[in-house]
Amino acid sequence: MAGTETAALPRHIAIIMDGNGRWAKRRLLPRQAGHRAGLTAARHVIEGCARLHIGALTLFAFSSENWQRPQREVGNLMDLLMHALEDEVRELHANNIRIRFVGTLEAFSPDLQQGMRRAEELTVMNTGLALNIAASYGGRWDIVCAAHKLAAAAVSGHIRPDQIDEARLSRALVLPELPDPDLFIRTGGEQRLSNFLLWNLAYTELYFTDRLWPDFDEPALQTALNWYAARQRRFGRTPEQMKEEAGA
Ligand code: IPE
Ligand code: IPE
Ligand code: MG
């Protein structure tokens, strides 16, 4: 159950980093150049969140549906991911950032899987920003996996079917230990969830900006944070109730 207070700073931010292709197209560059610029933007936003002491950041890097893109683009994205694992992880580790990958990771090449595991192992003891990279991730897949786990627990007699509740289902998802995102950001102008964290975003504040992901910098992050700070999160209650609580 979510809290009712309006926190000035989100504990957990979830971002759909969209618009790399259009950014490149505007510059008459190949889409790959947009993805490379997107990686730089991701680095800056991660650093910004770490500096602001945000607890967790979940980045949508590659959706389960993105496998349907042209083989060449998928290959380029995989190369970029490999390159990021080789080049960025040391710096993230030095900044006390804990990295996790969530999604159907077995869909990636053995090299990539190994790189992801190494990054997770290297940073597992870090206590700073919890950075989750959603890769080959789908929100429906996440819920289906949780259903499998709970069904198996019921069949083996560890739980009764009527003990399946929201808390248990939440704990069976891929981010069990984190609070739900307080702030969702999608760049690139589209106003949809594209199968991102469907369960976890139930009461998240949704921020959409036309700015393309490679142009999303620290001032843009600050604009989103200011927008978030001005939200009144009511979780079903009335504005008057919220005022009373704030005064109490
Ligand atoms: C997001 O940018 C990156 C990934 C989906 C991997 P896009 O590649 O979707 O860029 P647009 O939406 O075509 O501009
Ligand atoms: C969502 O972006 C996935 C990521 C940013 C990784 P897409 O560009 O794939 O989303 P749609 O297809 O426009 O909904
Ligand atoms: Mg897109």
| CATH number of 111's domain | 3.40.1180.10
**Average pLDDT, whole number, for the chain?**
96
Tokens representing 136? Answer: 């080959």
Q: Which residues contact 69 (CB under 8 A, 6 or more apart)?
A: 77
Whether 194 lines ligand 2, by a CB cut-off of 6 Å, is: yes
57 in helix, strand or coil? strand
Q: Which ligand is nearest to the CA of 16?
A: 2
Nearest to 133 by CA among 145, 147, 120: 120
Length of the chain counted residue by residue: 248
Whether 66 lines ligand 1, by a CB cut-off of 6 Å, is: yes
Instruction: Identify the pLDDT of residue 173.
Output: 98
Query: Using one digit for the tens of pLDDT, what is the confidence trace for 106-134?
Result: 999 999 999 999 999 999 999 999 999 99
Whether 16 lines ligand 2, by a CB cut-off of 6 Å, is: yes
What sign has the CA pseudo-torsion 150, 151, 155, 156?
negative
Instruction: Identify the pLDDT of residue 2.
Output: 40
Instruction: Identify the pLDDT of residue 6.
Output: 41
Tokens representing 162? Answer: 């009527």
Residue 124 counted as domain residue: yes
Residue 174 counted as domain residue: no
Percent of the chain clearing pLDDT 90 (strictly above) = 95
Looking at the 3D structure of the chain, how many domains does it have? 1
Protein residue whose Cα sits closest to atom 9 of ligand 2: 66
Nearest to 126 by CA among 179, 55, 194: 55
Query: Using one digit for the tens of pLDDT, what is the confidence trace for 150-178?
Result: 999 999 999 999 999 999 999 999 999 99
Distances (CA, A) of 117 to 21, 75, 85, 227: 29, 20, 10, 36
Residue 44 counted as domain residue: yes
Look up the domain containing 99 and give its range.
9-138+180-230
Q: Which ligand is nearest to the CA of 190?
A: 2
